[in-house]
Structure 1
Amino acid sequence: MYFFLSNLSFIDLCYVTSTVPKLLFSFFREKQTISVVGCAVQYFFFSMLATSESCLMTAMAYDRYAAICNPLLYASIMSPTLCVWMVMGSYSAGLMGSLCQICALLQLHFCGPNVIRHFFCDVSHLVHLSCTHTFFVDVLLIILTTIFGIMNALVIMISYSHHCASHLTAVSLFYGSGVFAYLSSSSGVSSSFDRFVSIIYTAVIPMLNPLIYSLRNKEIKDAMKRFQKKKGNG
């Protein structure tokens, strides 16, 4: 469990770093611009980390299901080697999914005005800026969303609904806000509420994940009690 949580924390840290620093930098500048290459690089890392987190959450759901529903067989089911392979598979799936999207996006032509009404380079907004046919990109996004989004979400929901409501809360926030943001921006027009929801799943949820996944842990509770007791004595 701690092995998976440490990797989730690492992904969340990188996930926030892919968008928030540029957002803050642009916020304090009068001219808010980004190059085409910079936009592609930003979305590459954002997409890779989001997909990796989705796959890692699925691996964590299977790990918790095995631990709670088959405790006597857990050591043989979830061997250290299998855990490493599951984490590496999550990173590899994120890398491959992101590469496919970037290669497809780079085939598009943008003839202007190239104005993204969003705080980062998201694929739904980039596609609507293209002056060429985007059928292939649209089909690719549907396929990737089905594989890494809907299927992963179903596996996680089925697993966590049986044994772990706190993890289900984290997953629901991650997928719920992300799906809403992509559906609401399908028209190509980004409202203020759309940007607000995007902030939730790109910055707020990664910050909340350590709390959601750790507060029910006995060791974390004991450490907080010791800290409060020490603070009270001091």
Structure 2
Amino acid sequence: MAGNILIAALVVVDQHLHTPMYFFLGNLSCLEACYTSTILPRMLASLLTGDRTISVSGCIVQYYFFGCFTASECYLLSMMSYDRYLAICKPLHYAALMSGRVCLQLAALSWTSGFLATTIVTCLMSQLHFCGPSEIDHFLCDFTPLIKLSCSDTSLITLVTFIFSSIFTLPPFLLTLASYVCIISTILRIPSTSGRRKAFSTCSSHLIVVTIYYGTLIIVYMLPDIETLRDLNKVFSVFYTVLTPLANPLIYSLRNREVKETLKRIIHKCLMLSDNQKE
């Protein structure tokens, strides 16, 4: 939470970071701060107090926001990879193709598409009747554990969710993968060895985080619900609910020279202001 909020604040405050890349990074940090606060506070409260009960309406609300942010992040990560593809592979056309208006449109598309898809699924879920056992075998209100508790016909909502899961995981992942393949092929043509090493270090770390995020989503939501994977789904869920939001600020932002310099400038200004007030 601290890392994501810090990056979002730096992007807003510092004029040097008002570029397309940092605009998307700011959106990602804001998204993951919201994403993390949807799940972890409730889970930590349950662990600390021992009160693990949640109302049906509260559970559906948690699923709604969790689903919105998950779907939005899939598209936002693909937009970020496309931005890096244009910057590295099409540098002469980058300014024209990635203007401020285009950045706003891509970010708005990422946010609205996630909220639209999850709203449809949540509306279908709210019409279900829950009359069976009332224990969710998970640490969050996810789709499959909730559906198992319903005594209504769930064939329609299962089909709709599978379609939306396919739309919001496979195409963005393929776009992200294709972008990084083009980026790596361009990097291989860089004559400088140090330049290639630095670019590969950045791209490989980005690709690892993206692969973990999408890979676990595909395993949890698109593979069949069989006994072998049932218990592992909770473990895989930790990767995209906790590990990815924790790693993204470190990999995408806090390793960047511009972010480090901005942070140093702001800390220096705060210390100077504090010294002036003391005097």
TM-score normalized by the length of structure 1: 0.89
Q: 1:11 to 1:185 in 2, by over 3 A?
A: farther
Distance in 2 (alpha carbons) for counterparts of 1:140 and 1:37: 21
Q: 1:143 to 1:182 in 2, by over 3 A?
A: closer
Give the CA deviation at 1:183.
5.4
Query: Quick check: 1:202 aligned with 2:241?
Result: yes
Q: 1:29 to 1:215 in 2, by over 3 A?
A: closer
Query: Quick check: 1:213 aligned with 2:252?
Result: yes
Give the CA deviation at 1:127.
1.1
Q: 1:223 to 1:89 in 2, by over 3 A?
A: closer
Identity among equivalent positions (%) equals: 41
| CA-to-aligned-CA distance 1:100-141 (integer Å, 9 cap, x gap) | 110111121111212101011000111111112111111101
| Secondary structure of 2:49's aligned partner | coil
The equivalent of 1:166 in structure 2 is: 205
Q: Is the 8 A contact 2:165 2:222 kept in 1?
A: no
Distance in 2 (alpha carbons) for counterparts of 1:219 and 1:200: 28
Give the CA deviation at 1:221.
6.1
Amino acid at match of 2:213: F
Alignment RMSD, CA only?
2.2
Equivalence map 1:1-234=2 (5 Å): 1-163=21-183, 164-182=203-221, 186-187=225-226, 190-191=230-231, 193-214=232-253, 217-220=256-259
| CA-to-aligned-CA distance 1:32-52 (integer Å, 9 cap, x gap) | 110011001100100000111
Give the CA deviation at 1:215.
5.4
Q: 1:76 to 1:161 in 2, by over 3 A?
A: same
Distance in 2 (alpha carbons) for counterparts of 1:29 and 1:202: 22
Q: Is the 8 A contact 1:160 1:167 kept in 2?
A: no
Q: 1:184 to 1:30 in 2, by over 3 A?
A: farther
Give the CA deviation at 1:194.
3.0
Distance in 2 (alpha carbons) for counterparts of 1:95 and 1:47: 8
Q: Is the 8 A contact 2:75 2:168 kept in 1?
A: yes
Q: 1:199 to 1:185 in 2, by over 3 A?
A: farther
Q: 1:114 to 1:53 in 2, by over 3 A?
A: same
Distance in 1 (alpha carbons) for counterparts of 2:55 and 2:243: 26
The equivalent of 2:3 in structure 1 is: none
Aligned residues: 225
Give the CA deviation at 1:223.
7.3
Q: Is the 8 A contact 2:36 2:242 kept in 1?
A: yes
Q: Which runs of 5 or more residues in structure 1 are unaligned?
A: 227-234
Amino acid at match of 2:65: F
Amino acid at match of 2:127: Q
| Secondary structure of 2:93's aligned partner | helix
Give the CA deviation at 1:169.
1.5
| CA-to-aligned-CA distance 1:13-36 (integer Å, 9 cap, x gap) | 111100000001111233311001
Q: Which one has a bigger Cα radius of gyration? A: 2
